Homo-oligomer: A and B are copies of this chain.
Amino acid sequence: MAIQRHDVGPRMSKAVVHGDTVYLAGLTADKTAGKSVGEQTKEILSLIDHYLKECGTDKSKLLRANIWITDISKFNEMNKEWDAWVSPGNTPARATVEAKLAAANLNVEIMVVAAK
């Protein structure tokens, strides 16, 4: 099966397509870095939409999601954005845990696998 990579950097690619499985990188906020969990989540979800589209798919085909938040007490704040964003009836298998992230101004990271 062919491998197609998108937004390929020297460290990682933002999206990798293998056959009809799409692996996105752990995405974090850019414009909203330093802002609230809700704002960062919203930006990350729009980045996921963007990369899924680049790979020829969309959120209705999400298979799996891993979410890390730096403060698990903000779980509901993150979920508010997530619940509003997911495709009803097409929600992925998901796990959310607390973890410190690569930069101090980031409070959410989301990594998904989708079908194509």
When all copies of this chain in the complex are counted, the total is 3
- The smallest C-beta distance from A14 to any residue of chain B, in angstroms, reads 7
Query: Chain B: which residue is nearest A114 at the CB level?
Result: B18
What 0/1 readout, one digit per residue, does chain A (69-85) give for beta carbons within 8 Å of chain B?
Answer: 00010010001001100
A23 in contact with B66 (CB, 8 Å): no
A94 at the interface (CB under 8 A from B): yes
Q: Chain B residues near A97: list those with CB within 8 A.
A: 26, 68, 99-102, 109
- What is the interface of chain A, defined by CB distance below 8 A to chain B? 1, 3, 5, 8-16, 18-21, 23-26, 61, 63-66, 68, 72, 75, 79, 82-83, 86, 88-102, 109, 111, 113, 115
